[in-house]
Each structure stands twice: as structure tokens, then as C-alpha cells.
Structure 1
Amino acid sequence: MCTKFYDSEFSFLISTTEIGNSQIIYEEFWFYTEFVNIFFQNTTLQEKEKERKIENVIKERKEIVIKERKEEKERTERKEKEGNGKERTERREKENLVLYKFLLEQLMNQRQKRNTPNNPRKNKIKRNENFAQKENEGSSSEEESNQFETQFQELVDSLMDSNSITRCEKYAELNHNISHYYLPIIGDFFDDTLLAVKNSLKKGSVEEQVLAIRCLLLFSITLEDAADEIFNQFEPLLLKYSLEGQNKLKIASIEALGILSYFITNTGDLDSSQKILRHCISILKNNFIPQNGGHEIYIAKVLNMCSLLLSLQANDFIGIELSGNNESDGGIFFEYIVNIGKSFLEYPDLDVRISSGRLITLAFNLKDRLEREEVVDSDIDVDAIVEIFNKLMKEYSQKVSKKTKTKQRAEFKQYISSIEECIYPKDLITIKSNKIHLEEWPKIIQLNIIRNFLGSGFQKHIEKNFLFSQLFGYRIKVESHRQKHYNKKSQRKEQKKNKKYRQQNITKERKKKNNFENQFM
């Protein structure tokens, strides 16, 4: 008997026969059960794979969402930072607008004075028109000048702020305004700024100290008699920082000492410049080999300050003290400087080589001046120095770049021509329509150092700064608003002198009283 039936789920055929064929039925049933187990196993594996895929998709989605959230946070932070930067720039623009307007009004007044014709009738008409305009606009100009003074006072007061970042920002802003515009109004805020600079030099960070030293130098450039006062107050600190601390602070302090002593010597005091020159020579003599590297800029700056201060010794080349001994012979001092400069000619840094060559050529230039008077005799071999200069001019090594080769060639070519043929470099200063010609190394070295320090504000200072006209020998017209400032300066000098006399008289009277009382004791 044979029966057939189908399973509804699996549609599988099972056949049964008689009892004699029981073994076959068993085998077919066993095969059926095995098939069912395998099928169920396959279904569970498929479900697990699906679950794994779903989990992987969820993980990927989570990671994408996390990344998007991070990007959104970064965008918002950037927007906030950009917003703060915009606010700062807007503040600076608003603060500078008042200054620009004040300067523009001065320029317009100068142009009106130049363009006024000689006809008196037309001049009267124009004066009446200008007077009517000034009655309407005079109040606004006075308000703007008062705003400028108040803003400048706020800027100076913020130098004493508790936060170091704000102090650095205000120093940078003040330095920018003083260097790019000649502002004699600074004299009214001189004492307050000196107090702020003292605090920042003693307690501030390195960046703040560097900015404060630059502020001192800018004050000494804009105000005539400020350099002497600044040098007397800050000389010990600057001498200390020129030997200790980080390279930035060393560079700023040695530059400040050189430039301050340069301005003081032009007033007639040569002792300070000789003192700083000896200090620079001792640095080069004792500490010119850097142990850890990174001192190239510092050494180049010291050599430049040596050349600046040596350029002032054109008339007093003899009698400078070296290492505490008075040298009566100018030839000994000349040999001393040439040997120091010679030791840096084979230095790996380009700026150090150029500045050392400049120092040697300056010494030869000063020697040529004094040899005309038959004062200097030296045993230095000039041909040996010229050979070294020729080697540096004709350098063919592949390790050196083309840019450095061209720069070195141009500089040392000038040095050789000035030593051998006495052909000195020339430079021009243009002040509106006037042209001033400078020749020989001393004045050119002085001009280049001041030009590099002031940067783009050099032209403004040359056109309006009375101190530069004295240094480089040209005339300048002192305007009315500047004449008031000079009158204030003279009043201050008289007040200081009167204070000294009063104190001296008071001390004399006290001594007289004490002596008179001691007679009867």
C-alpha cells in the first residue's frame, strides 16, 4: 500500500509502503528531518546577517550624525570668533577715524594756505567765506580733537589693565599710531606711559616687554628731549635684558640701547654712546659662538648697533676706553674693531656676514678721514681683508641659494669699492619737492637703521619731525599747532629747573638752621 501526502510549508513528498519496506520509510523520514533542521538553520543565519547589517547601518548613521554635530559646533565657534574679530576691527576703525579726520583737516588747511592768491580783495572774500564755514564747522572740529585726546587717554590708561592680552593689544595699537603718524600730542601722556612701561617690563610677558620697549623708542623719536630721560630711567633694565632671557627680548633691548644713545649723542653727550659701544663689543668678544643655535638675529643686531654707534665717533675716534683702559692711540682701536668684524665674516648666516663687512668698511672710512690729518697708524693688512671680501663676492658653492648669492655679491661689491677706490654709497631723501643727498657710510648707516625701525611711517616723520631735520641737515617749517607743543616743552624745562633750584635752596636753609642750632648745643 502506497500513500502520498504533502507538507503545506515545505511541499515535500513522503511515500510509505508496507511493513517490509519499513527501512526505506525510515530513511526518507530521516532525510526529511535533516532538511527541516538545515532550512531552519539557514533562516536564522539570514536573520542574523540582516540584524548585523541593520546594526552596521545604525552605527554608520550614528557616526555621520556625530560628525555633522561636531562640524556644526566648529562652524558656530568660527562664526563667534569671526564676530569678535569683526568687533575688534570695527573698534579700531572707529578709533582711527577720529585721528584720520584730524590729520586730514590739518592737510586741508595747509593746502588752502598754499592756494590762496596774492589779490587782497579775493583773499578777503575767501577769508569771510572760510570764517562763515568755521562758525558752522568749528565746533565739530573741536569736538573731534577732544574725542581724539580722550581716546588716547583711554588707550594709555588701558596699558595698566590686569589682563596681559589686552595690554599687548593696546601697546600694538599705540605703537602703530605713533610710528605711522607724527603726533607731538604724546608729550601730554609721557609720564603715564612711562609708569605703564615700567610695570610691563618688570611683570609682563616677553611679548609685552618687547612691545613696551618699542613704545619707549617711538616716544624718544617723536619727542626731542625724551631720549635722555628714558635712557637714565631704563638703562640698567635694558642692560640686564640684553644679556639674559629670550632672544626676542635681547634683540629689542640692545636695539633700544643703541638708538637711545644715538639720539642722546646728537645733543652733545658722547659718554653714553661710548659706554653702549663697549657693551656691544664685549658681547661680540665673549659670547659670539652660540651653543644651541638661533642667535643669528641677535648677533646681526649687535653688529648693526656697533656700526651705528661707531658712526657717531667720526670726530672722536681716539681716546675710547676698551676693557677699562684708556687707549690714546686711534690705530689700536681701529685694529680692535677690524679684528672683531673679521671673526664673523665666515659665519653661516648671511645677515651676520653682511653686518660684519659693513662694520669693517665703516672703520676704514673713519680711518681714511683721520689719516688726512695724520692721526691714525695701523698694521692691518688691507689686501687680506679685500681677498676675503672677494671670496664672499664670488661664492660658487651649491649649498648656498641663488638669492643669498646675489644679495651677498651686491653688498660686498660696495664694500670692496669703498675700501680700495674710496667710492662710497649714495642715498636720497625726498621731502615733497626737496631732495637731500647723503654720502659716505656714517649717515647712510644711521638712515637705514631708523628707516628699518619705523617702516612705512618713516616718510611722515621725515616730513614733520624736527629732530630728523637736525640729524640729516635739512630745514622744516614748524606749524602753529606744533609750535604750541614746543612752547609747552620749554615751559616744562623751566619748571624742572625751578624745582631743582627750590630744592637746593631748601636744603641750604635746613643746613644753616642745623648749624646755627648746633652752635648752642
Structure 2
Amino acid sequence: MPKNKKRNTPHRGGSGGGGSGAAAATAATAGGQHRTVQPFSDEDASIETMSHCSGYSDPSSFPEDGPEVLDEEGTQEDLEYKLKGFIDLTLDKNAKTRQAALESIKNALASKMLYEFILERRMTLTDSIERCLKKGKGDERRAAAALASVLCIQLGPGIESEEVLKTLGPILKKIICDSTASIQARQSCATCFGVCCFIATDDITELYSTLECLENLFTKSYVKEKDTAVCSAPSTALHISSLLAWTLLLTICPINEVKKKLEMHFHKLPSLLSSDDVNMRIAAGESLALLFELARGMESDFIYEDMESLTQMLRALATDGNKHRAKVDKRKQRSVFRDVLRAVEERDFPTETVKFGPERMYIDCWVKKHTYDTFKEVLGSGMQYHLQSNEFLRNVFELGPPVMLDAATLKSMKIPRFERHLYNSAAFKARTKARSKCRDKRADVGEFF
């Protein structure tokens, strides 16, 4: 019978799953008491196991679904308790654990205003971000830079955010200029550097230094004299991020510096419109539209020397039908460049409306659009919540002080789900009928003659 014995031996609690079982037992016996965090070991480094290996939830505890999800998950004390645990986990030995903790903190700060909590732990958070940027690699650096951006957005302009930038700025610049670092990490650091400088810098020389650092990146994509087109390269994504961050900082520069930058880049920037990368073409087009807006704001009779050539290029991109390009890319490109062409030729901007809660914001110029797009990229779906509650962003977009509404008022303003469904169904039906009339091949076309 030795075979049966051998066959049955694995059913004992040996090495097969003892680690996770012990962790689960520890969590079960600990109950609601505060427990010592024992996160991932090197053998069990999967992010999905965080809820079993520690007393804190996994990063999905803070999904980017806005503040309502967080309110449902627990009280403010529960939220702060979770965040304290995640801050502790940024010191863990395992890289995956640190990355997951950074992303969880970032998602929480993007979804809820926690100014007092952040203010008390600003130095601890800054030290954790600095350590992850210095010692981390790839994804960990990307997560640390993203958290630094949201941290500055929470703090707003002032001494606290200035100290954060003073500590992290040199490290961010070093990573951005390091050709051996991963492109994703450098890309995230470039965006972070631009956003933090936009919020916190009070030193004009530091602003000019940041602009120069970002310029040194995206100018590498300029077409050289011998070339006829910009070929897409792995570093193109980095150049796009640096160009967008540079454009954001240009909007807060003094007039003299803006004039200087216009002279340097106005005639070279159009070369990026011939890039193989659709995102580079779009970034260059929107940047050009913004530069035209700034130039005309300084001089109402501003004239671009090579206007005919530029408008021909923009019109070609606005009506691009090349078969070798993806349909989605062509559709996106045509939509953007129709607006860019109108801005360059007619000085016109298609006003956009952004609704958040009971309020709405009108985006009526390229500067405002670019600023909104940048912060939306950083905050994700938390942008609407921050527009309602974040005083810094409300000052940037001239929305005034936050509107204070009680829960009963907000609930009464919310349309019930069933009514929304009926409205959407009716709108869909009407839209389908209208489109069907236009598409009907049996329609009598004789009336047009």
C-alpha cells in the first residue's frame, strides 16, 4: 500500500500553499484590530495576492470611478487607514508591492480631496516618491512620477508644493535626460515635471531651465535639412510628452520669453506634421494652434511668413484619406486638424462644454483646452470631482470658489436611472430615424433639380 500513502501525502498542509494559508489565518484571527503589515515576499510577488498577504486592500480599492465609489467603501477613517497602510508599503522590499502602493495612493488622491491628510504626511510621501524614483525602474518610476503630479495638484501653489518640486525636480530632470532609462518612465517624468513646475514654480530661472530641458527632447524629432519626413521611433512618445509639457509651461511665461520661443520654434514645429506617428502629428498641430493664439494675443496683426504652405499642409491632414493609415487614426486626425485649420485661417475656436455636478465650464480657447487636457490626463475620471472641489483648479479655470451643496440637494438634482434610460432611448430612436432618411437610397432626389 505504499502507493496509496504516496498519493495521499500531498493533501497535508505542506509546502503546497502553506504561505498563503498562514496569511489568511492571520487575517482571519486579527479581525478588525490593527495588524502588522506583511506584504509580498519575493516568492509571492503577484499584485493580485495583496488582499491576502496584508491587512489592506489591493490597488483596485481605489478605482478611477470618482468619489462615490470611495464613499460607498467606508468612512473617512477607513480611507485614511488604508492610505496609511499604502504609504508604509512604499517602503517594502518588493518592487511590485511598492508600485502597487504608489498606484493605489495616486488613484485615491485623484478621486478625493485629502488636503489635511496629505499636508500632515507631505514629507513622508515626498521621501517615498524620491526613493522610488532613485532606486526603482520602469513601471515603479512611472507610478512614482504620476503620484508626484497628483500630490502637487492636491497641495496647490504654495510653500509645500515648492518644496516637493525642489526635492524631486533634479531627480526628474536626471531621469528625463537619461537615455538608458525606460521610455515610459521618462515620458511620465516629463509630464510630471511640466505639471509640477506649472503649479509650484515661483522662480523664473527654474521655469526657463525646465523649458530648455523639455526643448532638448522634442527638438530631436524636427526634420533635418536632408530628410523629408519624420520617421516614428521608440522615443517618439517621449518627444510628444515633452512637447505637450513645454506647451503647457509656455502659457505661463512672460511675454518676452514667449516671443523668443516663437521665433525659435514657429518655423521648425510644422516639420513634426509629417511624422509617421499620428499622436505626434496631432500634438504638433494643437501646439501650433496654441502658438498662433499666443502670437495673435500679443500682436493682433501678427502675420506668419509661410502661411500658404502651412495651410496646405493642415488642409491635407484635415482631409487625409491615405489607405495605409488606420481608420481610427484618420478619423481622429481629421477631426483635430479641421479645428486647427480654422484656428490658423479664421482665428476661430469651437467652444466645448464640460459638465461636472450642477456646474458647467466653457472651453473657448486653445490655452484653456490644452490646460484642461493635461490635467485630465493626470487625474483621469477624477477630473470632474477636482473641478468641483479643488480650489487650485477652480482658480486656473476661473470657476470661483467651490459650490457648497448638501447631500439632499445633490440627490434631488440627480436624474433617476430609469428616466435617463427613457431619454436615451427616445434620443436614439429619433437619431436613427433622421439618419435613415439621409441614407435611404429610395429617397427622391429629383426635387433638388
TM-score, shorter chain, exceeding 0.5: yes
Determine if the alignment matches structure 1 residue 293 to structure 2 residue 250: no
In the TM superposition, residue 186 of structure 1 has moved relative to its aligned partner by 1.7
Matches within 5 A, 1:143-154: 145-154=76-85
In the TM superposition, residue 447 of structure 1 has moved relative to its aligned partner by 0.3
Q: Counterpart of 1:397 in 2: which secondary structure?
A: coil
Determine if the alignment matches structure 1 residue 254 to structure 2 residue 179: no
Per-residue CA distance 1:351-409 (angstroms, 9 max, x = gap): 0011111111111111111113x7xx666221111011112222232211222221111
Select 1:173's aligned residue among 101, 104, 107. 104
The question of whether the paired residues in 1 share the 8 Å contact of 2:248 and 2:371 is answered with yes
Q: Counterpart of 2:400 in 1: which secondary structure?
A: coil
Q: Measured at CA, do residues 229 and 288 of structure 1 come closer, stay the same or move farther in structure 2, by a change above 3 Å? A: farther
The question of whether the paired residues in 2 share the 8 Å contact of 1:335 and 1:378 is answered with no
Determine if the alignment matches structure 1 residue 312 to structure 2 residue 276: no
Q: Measured at CA, do residues 380 and 417 of structure 1 come closer, stay the same or move farther in structure 2, by a change above 3 Å? A: same
Matches within 5 A, 1:224-303: 224=156, 225=158, 226-244=160-178, 245-264=181-200, 269-286=203-220, 293-303=233-243
Matches within 5 A, 1:297-446: 297-313=237-253, 316-319=254-257, 330=259, 333-372=261-300, 380-446=305-371
Q: Aligned partner of 2:256: which letter?
A: I
In the TM superposition, residue 287 of structure 1 has moved relative to its aligned partner by 6.0
Q: Output the CA distance in 2 between the equivalents of 1:292 and 1:104.
A: 41
Determine if the alignment matches structure 1 residue 223 to structure 2 residue 155: yes
Matches within 5 A, 1:15-26: none
Q: Aligned partner of 1:262: which letter?
A: F
Select 1:182's aligned residue among 109, 113, 120. 113
The question of whether the paired residues in 1 share the 8 Å contact of 2:92 and 2:98 is answered with yes
Per-residue CA distance 1:446-480 (angstroms, 9 max, x = gap): 00111122111111111111111111111234879
Q: Output the CA distance in 1 between the equivalents of 2:76 and 2:185.
A: 36
Q: What is the identity percentage for the equivalent residue pairs of Structure 1 and Structure 2? A: 18
Looking at CA atoms only, which structure, 1 or 2, has the larger radius of gyration?
1
Q: Measured at CA, do residues 200 and 421 of structure 1 come closer, stay the same or move farther in structure 2, by a change above 3 Å? A: same
Match of 2:10 in 1: none
Q: Measured at CA, do residues 107 and 164 of structure 1 come closer, stay the same or move farther in structure 2, by a change above 3 Å? A: closer
Structure 1 gaps, min length 5: 1-75, 109-140, 321-329, 481-521
Q: Counterpart of 1:388 in 2: which secondary structure?
A: helix
Match of 1:156 in 2: 87
Q: Counterpart of 1:312 in 2: which secondary structure?
A: coil
Q: Measured at CA, do residues 156 and 393 of structure 1 come closer, stay the same or move farther in structure 2, by a change above 3 Å? A: same
Q: Counterpart of 2:380 in 1: which secondary structure?
A: helix
Q: Aligned partner of 1:341: which letter?
A: L
Match of 1:459 in 2: 384
Q: Output the CA distance in 1 between the equivalents of 2:68 and 2:337.
A: 44
Per-residue CA distance 1:39-96 (angstroms, 9 max, x = gap): xxxxxxxxxxxxxxxxxxxxxxxxxxxxxxxxxxxxx99xx89x98776457655999
Q: What is the RMSD computed on CA atoms of the aligned residues?
A: 3.4
Moved more, 334-343 or 90-99: 90-99
The question of whether the paired residues in 2 share the 8 Å contact of 1:175 and 1:214 is answered with yes
Match of 1:202 in 2: 134
Q: Counterpart of 1:430 in 2: which secondary structure?
A: strand
Q: Measured at CA, do residues 223 and 392 of structure 1 come closer, stay the same or move farther in structure 2, by a change above 3 Å? A: same
In the TM superposition, residue 106 of structure 1 has moved relative to its aligned partner by 11
The question of whether the paired residues in 1 share the 8 Å contact of 2:62 and 2:104 is answered with no
Q: Measured at CA, do residues 234 and 171 of structure 1 come closer, stay the same or move farther in structure 2, by a change above 3 Å? A: same
Q: Aligned partner of 2:366: which letter?
A: W
Q: Output the CA distance in 1 between the equivalents of 2:265 and 2:359.
A: 37
Structure 2 gaps, min length 5: 1-15, 25-45, 224-229, 406-449
In the TM superposition, residue 157 of structure 1 has moved relative to its aligned partner by 1.8
Q: Measured at CA, do residues 105 and 382 of structure 1 come closer, stay the same or move farther in structure 2, by a change above 3 Å? A: closer
The question of whether the paired residues in 2 share the 8 Å contact of 1:312 and 1:442 is answered with no
Q: Counterpart of 1:339 in 2: which secondary structure?
A: coil
Q: Counterpart of 2:353 in 1: which secondary structure?
A: strand
Q: Measured at CA, do residues 92 and 147 of structure 1 come closer, stay the same or move farther in structure 2, by a change above 3 Å? A: closer
Q: Output the CA distance in 2 between the equivalents of 1:408 and 1:105.
A: 35
Q: Output the CA distance in 1 between the equivalents of 2:324 and 2:277.
A: 13
The question of whether the paired residues in 2 share the 8 Å contact of 1:183 and 1:222 is answered with yes
Q: How many residues align?
A: 348
Q: Output the CA distance in 2 between the equivalents of 1:104 and 1:357.
A: 37
The question of whether the paired residues in 2 share the 8 Å contact of 1:469 and 1:476 is answered with yes
Name whichever structure is richer in helix by fraction: 1
Q: Aligned partner of 1:371: which letter?
A: E
In the TM superposition, residue 232 of structure 1 has moved relative to its aligned partner by 1.1
Q: Output the CA distance in 1 between the equivalents of 2:233 and 2:346.
A: 38
- State the structure with bigger RCO (CA 8 A, min sep 6), 1 or 2: 2
Q: Output the CA distance in 2 between the equivalents of 1:194 and 1:348.
A: 39
Q: Measured at CA, do residues 413 and 105 of structure 1 come closer, stay the same or move farther in structure 2, by a change above 3 Å? A: closer
Q: Counterpart of 1:344 in 2: which secondary structure?
A: helix
In the TM superposition, residue 273 of structure 1 has moved relative to its aligned partner by 3.0
In the TM superposition, residue 279 of structure 1 has moved relative to its aligned partner by 2.1
Per-residue CA distance 1:199-253 (angstroms, 9 max, x = gap): 2222122221111111111110111234311211122111111121220121011
Matches within 5 A, 1:29-108: 88-89=50-51
Q: Aligned partner of 1:297: which letter?
A: A
Per-residue CA distance 1:77-127 (angstroms, 9 max, x = gap): 9xx89x98776457655999899xxx779989xxxxxxxxxxxxxxxxxxx
Q: Output the CA distance in 2 between the equivalents of 1:107 and 1:146.
A: 11
The question of whether the paired residues in 2 share the 8 Å contact of 1:461 and 1:468 is answered with yes
